[in-house]
Amino acid sequence: MTSMNSSARDRTQQQSQIYCYCQLKCVVYTCFRGPNRGRQFYRCIHSRTDDDCNFFKWMDELEEPYHDTHYDLKAADDKILKKLDLVIFQLKVFIALVALDVIVRMYFA
């Protein structure tokens, strides 16, 4: 990443759909020196400040734009389904207890 140092001064302000660890849209930089000359990369909008989250990603190494999002959503979906199963189980237990309470009250009231 040493070649990145010179390119940080010459950043290209392009709209990005990539977000850094700060959950902000990244800035696209172009490397102008060294073996990575011409190569573009993403950095935090706060690059080289105290608020820099140190996010770095070469543009050409990114997977399909929605690949990560797809798997993040799948994981979130699985987590929600597990919670839903727990809620359904709790409701069944509650209904069984209410039914038992009604039966007990009918026979012993």
Supply the pLDDT for residue 13. Answer: 52
- At residue 69's C-alpha, the angle toward residues 38 and 55, to 5°, is 45
Domain borders along the chain are 4-61, 63-109
Q: CA 89, CA 106: separation in Å to the nearest integer?
A: 26
Whether residue 5 is predicted with pLDDT greater than 80 in this model: the reply is no
Please tell me the least confidently modeled range out of 30-34, 70-74, 79-83: 70-74
Please give the model's pTM, rounded to 2 decimal places. 0.47
Whether residue 47 is predicted with pLDDT greater than 80 in this model: the reply is yes
